[in-house]
Amino acid sequence: MNADLIQTIAVYALPVLFAITLHEAAHGYVAKHFGDPTAFLMGRVTLNPLKHIDPIGTIVVPLALYFMTSGAFLFGYAKPVPVAFGSLRNPRVDTIWVALAGPVCNFVQAILWVLLGLGLQLAGVREPFFMMMAQAGLVVNLVMCMFNLFPVPPLDGGRVLVSLLPARAAYALSRVEPYGFFIVMALVVSGVLGRVWLWPLIQWGRDVIKWMLTPLLSLVS
């Protein structure tokens, strides 16, 4: 394991663990709030990352892709939080809130990582490692947020779209779910998803956060 890989893992480890753990816990917490305790009863509404890590999707796949593409392409996933959508008090509407909980949580985390970076600069801490970690936290969470909003089930954006569409169209889209992962992977590998969806939305997210934090950013400019 070379020094660059060790540094990359060290920089991204905490941001990735927080991004995955809080994303999944947020789904479970909001589901419980709206009447479905499935995730709570299974111990998935927790900040313990071990409950959410998928050995293949969270560790093996990202490392394999890192080596195969020389760090140019990374992708991973956690164990999905179990939600019995039919148990929600108002399944059609509440599903939207449950689905959005994860991406919204990631967007909030992106803001918090930027605030941490600004706080370090204002405190006179210029240690490159911590600044790189704050930047990694911003990028990781924006990627998770925008990727999961892609409107194909079983991604969160797909569940939102199914809940918003008329019954016939919603049923047709829901039937895509068993093949959704393969569709998304094909779009990722081909570069279409990144070019058309992911990178434009990540830039939009950066611009929104920059606008929100303009007064603080002016202090370190």
Q: How far is 180 from 185, CA to CA, in rounded Å? A: 8
Amino acid letter, 52: H
Q: Please report, to the nearest 10 degrees, the dihedral formed by the alpha carbons of residues 162, 199, 50, 113 taken in order.
A: -120
Residue tagged 């202090």 (tokens)? 219
What residues are labeled active site?
24
Q: In this structure, are residues 42 and 52 in contact, taking their beta carbons and an 8 Å threshold?
A: no
